[in-house]
Amino acid sequence: MRISIQHLTKVFPSRTKGGKAVHAVEDMNIEIPSGQLVGLLGPSGCGKSTTLFMLSGLETATSGKILFDDQDVTTLAAEKRGVGLVFQNYALYPHMTVQQNIRFPLDNMRINREEGNARALDAARLVQIEDLMARKPHELSGGQQQRVAIARALVKMPNVLLLDEPLSNLDARLRLQTREEIKRIQRTTGITTVFVTHDQEEAMSICDIMVVMKLGVVQQIGAPQHIYDDPNNLFVANFLGTPPINIFKGKIQGGKAYIGEEAVGDAPYGDREVYVGIRPEGFIYNPQGALTLNVDHIEVMGRDKSVVSTHESSTKPTVRSIIDSDVALPEGAEQLKFDIKPYKLFLFDAETEERLR
């Protein structure tokens, strides 16, 4: 199933008299090819859930259109859309067994018990919980409960699977494992899937296409690696990457980008104030290098080391540079100089915060 989102907008009226309406989603346009796993990524309150609810039919759009293949589903009732939904809190029925929970949507459709059980078992196998069918939710771990919720969403064989922060209630290890699992299930079934998260690592690791949102407005759409390597604006550059990108106040003068008085790269744009973004992996140690950092300490992490330093033009308390562990750095140096890899350096107009390209 292809999904086409066209000028989709959701405005919630103000909750208080004379208060401001909330523009939860603003003129969203996304084309999702069939069988893709799409991640909606952005900070809390940026409109991810609202988008998902409009896709599912639980929320009506203020304006704009949603197409599933060529069918306009914008005003179609939720139960007619063929979507499976999974939420952050698994929302299982506590008094029902795993089998009954998974079968529940089929019971509602008056599918007979025998076929219901067979399909529930298929769905349970897909998420690898077929041995847990007789248990009640309280006898399961969080990860297992979330798998039951996913099986329940899959049992109707939906055309579209919608997942709203499905991993956020799991501990770190389970989160990692379950996200691999979701990726595998999505690949196996080929169901077009929209996955909502505020966790950039999660989105980067499992999505085919990532949609970065801020305050209801799409900032960038593309393959995760592409967005990381080629961010549209300061917000996107900042949002992606661990450790995050380093940002300095700087300027462009005569075709060069400056941080303080040091020229750190070419800048074939007009003179102006800029933010200079440098990814942590963008530093090359060089005693005659372009940029001088005041070293605070060095963390050795096996494969590489992290130089934690400060710089008066940095917009963040510390500057992080990740250096290969086999690069020898002088012991106890108070300052170190680095050259900057040009493709790891991004310039943003200081006014608009848009990327200069």
Ligand X SMILES: Nc1ncnc2c1ncn2[C@@H]1O[C@H](COP(=O)(O)OP(=O)(O)O)[C@@H](O)[C@H]1O
Return residues touching ligand X (CB under 6 A). 12, 22, 24, 42, 44-50
Which residues touch 245 (CB under 8 Å, ≥6 apart)? 237, 238, 277, 278, 279, 280, 346
Q: In angstroms, give the least distance from the CB of 22 to ligand X.
A: 5
- Report what 47 binds from Mg ion, ligand X, none; CB cut-off 5-8 Å by kind: ligand X
- Report what 345 binds from ligand X, Mg ion, none; CB cut-off 5-8 Å by kind: none
- Report what 12 binds from Mg ion, ligand X, none; CB cut-off 5-8 Å by kind: ligand X
Q: In angstroms, give the least distance from the CB of 86 to Mg ion.
A: 13
Task: Give the pairing of strands 262-266 and 291-300.
Answer: unpaired
47 or 105: CB nearest Mg ion: 47
- Report what 22 binds from Mg ion, ligand X, none; CB cut-off 5-8 Å by kind: ligand X
120 or 162: CB nearest Mg ion: 162
Q: In angstroms, give the least distance from the CB of 72 to ligand X.
A: 23
CA distance 241 to 247: 13
Q: In angstroms, give the least distance from the CB of 46 to ligand X.
A: 4
Which residues touch 108 (CB under 8 Å, ≥6 apart)? none
- Report what 188 binds from ligand X, Mg ion, none; CB cut-off 5-8 Å by kind: none
Of residues 261, 220, 259, 223, the one with CA closest to residue 346: 259
46 or 323: CB nearest ligand X: 46
- Report what 45 binds from ligand X, Mg ion, none; CB cut-off 5-8 Å by kind: ligand X
Residues that bind Mg ion (CB under 5 A): 49
Q: In angstroms, give the least distance from the CB of 15 to ligand X.
A: 6
Task: Give the pairing of strands 272-278 and 345-349.
Answer: antiparallel
Of residues 54, 58, 62, the one with CA closest to residue 9: 62
Return the biggest CA–CA distance within the chain: 77
49 or 192: CB nearest Mg ion: 49
Of residues 118, 161, 348, 328, the one with CA closest to residue 252: 348
CA distance 293 to 305: 15
CA atoms within 13 A on the CB side of 46: 19
CA distance 283 to 95: 57
Q: How far are the Cα atoms of 39, 55, 58, 220, 253 from residue 223, in angstroms, in the given order?
A: 10, 21, 28, 10, 33
19 or 270: CB nearest ligand X: 19
Q: In angstroms, give the least distance from the CB of 64 to ligand X.
A: 15
19 or 332: CB nearest ligand X: 19
Of residues 174, 163, 185, the one with CA closest to residue 140: 174
CB 191 within 8 A of CB 126: no
Q: In angstroms, give the least distance from the CB of 49 to Mg ion.
A: 3
Rounded to the nearest 10 degrees, how much is the dihedral formed by the CA atoms of 288, 291, 294, 295? -70
- Report what 88 binds from Mg ion, ligand X, none; CB cut-off 5-8 Å by kind: none
- Report what 46 binds from ligand X, Mg ion, none; CB cut-off 5-8 Å by kind: ligand X
- Report what 24 binds from Mg ion, ligand X, none; CB cut-off 5-8 Å by kind: ligand X
Structure tokens at 31: 């084309």
35 or 45: CB nearest ligand X: 45
Q: In angstroms, give the least distance from the CB of 322 to ligand X.
A: 30
Residue recorded with tokens 């690949």: 187
CA angle 243, 245, 247 (to 5 degrees): 135
Residue nearest to Mg ion (CB): 49
135 or 214: CB nearest ligand X: 214
Task: Give the pairing of strands 272-278 and 3-12.
Answer: unpaired
120 or 212: CB nearest ligand X: 212
Q: In angstroms, give the least distance from the CB of 67 to Mg ion.
A: 23
